[in-house]
Structure 1
C-alpha cells in the first residue's frame, strides 16, 4: 500500500486523479496518518460485500500493488473483481509472473514497490481514453473467460478429461 501512497504523492498536482483506499489491517493506521497529509487520497473502512460492485465501478483505474518478494506466491483474489468491473488494472508485478500474465492486455504492469513506476502507468491510462477503454473491455472479457465459476469448472473438466485420455482410461 505504501507504493500507492508514493504514487499519490507524485501525482498530487493532478487534480483529475484521486486515490480511494478501502480496507482494514495492521498498516491501516500508518496509511491513514500518511494519507491525512494528502488532498488526493481518501482512506475508508472495509466496505460491505453488498457494496463491492458499486465501489469497484467508481474507479477509473484499479491499482494492485504487490511486493517483489511475494511474486507468484499468491494471485490476489481481488483481481477477479477488478477485472469484472471493466476497468483497467495497474499491477506491481515482475514480467513473467502469474499476476503479470493475468493483467497483460487488460492493464499495465509496473515494477513492484516503485511508486514512480506506478504513477507513470496511472498517468498513461488516465491520459489515454482509447487505451483505457480498450483495456477495460479486455479486463471484462478476461474476467468472463478465466474467472467465472462456470469458466473455471469447464477448464477443470477439460483438463481432467485430457488426463483420463492420456492415461488410456
Structure 2
C-alpha cells in the first residue's frame, strides 16, 4: 500500500509540474470512443496515457513514451507503446509496440498527422502473438489551444491459434485541447 501511495504522489506531482503543456486528445465514431492524456517529460520527451472503448470489441489501455525531434515543418517522435486488451470477442493480452508519430505543418492552422506501431511476437504477451496500429488524420487548429481533426485508425491483434482480431478499422472525428 505504501508503494502505491508513493507512486501516486510521484505521478500526480509530475503531472502538476507539467500542466502548462498538457494535451488532452479525444476521438469518436459510431462504435468507438478514445481519449489520451499527453504530458511532456522534458523538451524532447513525452508520455501518453490512453484508453479506447469499442462497443463490439472491448477495451484497450495504452501507455507510451516518445523522444521527439523538429525539423522545420516536420515533427518526428519515436518510442515504445504498451497496449493491454480486454475483450469478450477475442482472447485478452498485451503487447509492447515500437514505432512513432509524424506531423507535417501545412500552415498556421492545418497539419497532417500519421502514426504507426508494430509489436512482433517476441513483444506480445498472454494470448496475443503480434499487434499493429496505424493512424492518420488531418487537423485544423481553431485556436493555439484547441484543434479539431478527422482521421482513420486501424488496430489489429494477431493470434497463433485463433483468427486475428480487428479492434478498430474506420474513420473517426475528434479534438485536441492544450492547457
Q: TM-score, normalised by structure 1?
A: 0.26
Instruction: Determine which structure has the larger helix proportion and give its number.
Output: 1
Larger radius of gyration: 1
Instruction: Determine which structure has the larger strand proportion and give its number.
Output: 2
Q: TM-score, normalised by structure 2?
A: 0.25
Higher relative contact order (CA 8 A, sep 6+): 1
